[in-house]
Homo-oligomer: A and B are copies of this chain.
Amino acid sequence: MNLKQLSELLGLSQTTVSRALNGYPEVNEATRERVLQAVKETGYRPNKAAQRLATGKAGSIGLVMPTAPGHQSDVHFGEFLAGLGEEAVRHDFHFVIMPADPDDEVAALRRLAISGNVDALFVAYMRAHDPRLAMLKSLSMPYVVHGRSFGSEPDYPYLDIDNEGAFYDATRLLLQLGHTRFALMNGPMHLDFAIRRKNGVAAALAERGLALDENCVSHALMTDEQGLLAMEQFLQLPERPTAILCSSTVLALGAIRAANQAGLRLGEDISLIAHDDVLPLLKPENFSVPLTTTRSSLRAAGVRIAQRLIGTVKQAGPFPDQELWKTELIVRASTGPAPQV
């Protein structure tokens, strides 16, 4: 069933039927009713490809999903997608997800953009000096970046959390508790958030005349195994750290396992603060020793970015171009006074 058939069925022109469906004012209410009725009975749905071809709009936002045979799926991705979806469903938008090898992301993004399949783009996993920014700017298609790109002029639309502030605050808390030996369990070094978090820690330490020992910094994929490994290394250091900052609750999972295996009590022998993306699977309050965290909901960020993206496509009013969300510092049992030596 297509427009032509439907209009013939109704004895109307395609024009009128199309107008009736799209809410144009110049169609008689009675005929509009008739059309709507016929749509219900026939189950007619406009062909999206044709619609897009004719209007240039498709009601879809595009994103690239990094993937490869060895590539681990990322819980954070799913959670963020849930947020995007929650908002998209309200506007009858859908996603076009282009899987792409992580090495091929710029090209994949470009292909996606000029494929004509999407109205707007979303990009995440930002790196320092991210090459995708230049490409996006050249594209004349709305986009929003999740995160920022260290070293690039911040003149692009983004939503980010205050990573530096979060880790600055967390570090200060630990300093106040008397800790002096710190370790940072971070995400991959090239990622923007990792850089900023490290800077936040360093800044807070510097205020007390302390510095972050490079041996006490790990950069790795945010999996529990990497957390375990990193923690094991930290614990073997001659002056082992008593305060651990952790870029994800996933890493914390492994880190805590390592600490337990070493017979250390969390919140007493060793203190830990993790960043919490509010993953439904890993609630810090459910850890056997509830975790002190810096918190910011990834899902909420997804919702907000979808709002901005869809709003821009629909030309529904101006949105702030740059948003920086503060995180909350939530104190639970995994932090305590530095142990007396």
Do B72 and A225 have beta carbons less than 8 Å apart? no
Residues on the B chain within 8 Å of A77, using CB: 78
List A residues 57-83 near B (Cβ within 8 Å).
58, 60, 65, 67-69, 71-75, 77-79, 81-82
A95 within 8 A of B: yes
Do A73 and B69 have beta carbons less than 8 Å apart? no
A281 within 8 A of B: yes
* Chain B binder among A21-29, A111-119, A313-321: A111-119
Minimum CB–CB distance for A75 against chain B, Å: 6
Residues on the B chain within 8 Å of A94, using CB: 96-99, 112, 117
CA distance A110 to B43 in the complex (A): 10
Chain A, residues 279-293, CB within 8 Å of chain B (1/0): the string is 011010010100000
A49 within 8 A of B: yes
Do A96 and B228 have beta carbons less than 8 Å apart? no
Select the residue from A72, A97, A288 with max chain B CB neighbours within 10 A.
Answer: A97
* Chain B binder among A84-92, A147-155, A162-170, A201-209: A84-92
Set B68, B72, B117, B286: member contacting A48, Cβ < 8 A? B117
Do A60 and B96 have beta carbons less than 8 Å apart? yes
A257 within 8 A of B: yes
Interface size of A by Cβ–Cβ distance < 8 Å? 58
Do A78 and B86 have beta carbons less than 8 Å apart? no
A5 within 8 A of B: no
Set B49, B99, B101, B110: member contacting A95, Cβ < 8 A? B99
Do A65 and B45 have beta carbons less than 8 Å apart? no
Residues on the B chain within 8 Å of A85, using CB: 65, 67, 97, 99
Minimum CB–CB distance for A150 against chain B, Å: 27
Name which residue of chain B comes closest to A97, CB basis: B95
Do A286 and B225 have beta carbons less than 8 Å apart? yes
Do B89 and A78 have beta carbons less than 8 Å apart? no
A47 within 8 A of B: yes
8 contacts between A and B (CB under 8 A): A50-B116, A65-B81, A69-B86, A73-B82, A94-B97, A95-B96, A228-B286, A257-B288
Give A residues with C-beta under 8 Å from B.
43, 45, 47-50, 52-53, 58, 60, 65, 67-69, 71-75, 77-79, 81-82, 84-86, 88-89, 94-101, 110-112, 114-117, 223-225, 228, 250, 254, 257, 260, 280-281, 283, 286, 288, 299
Q: Please provide the 3 A-B residue pairs with the shortest distance between their CB atoms, ordered closest to farther.
A: A78-B78, A85-B99, A73-B82
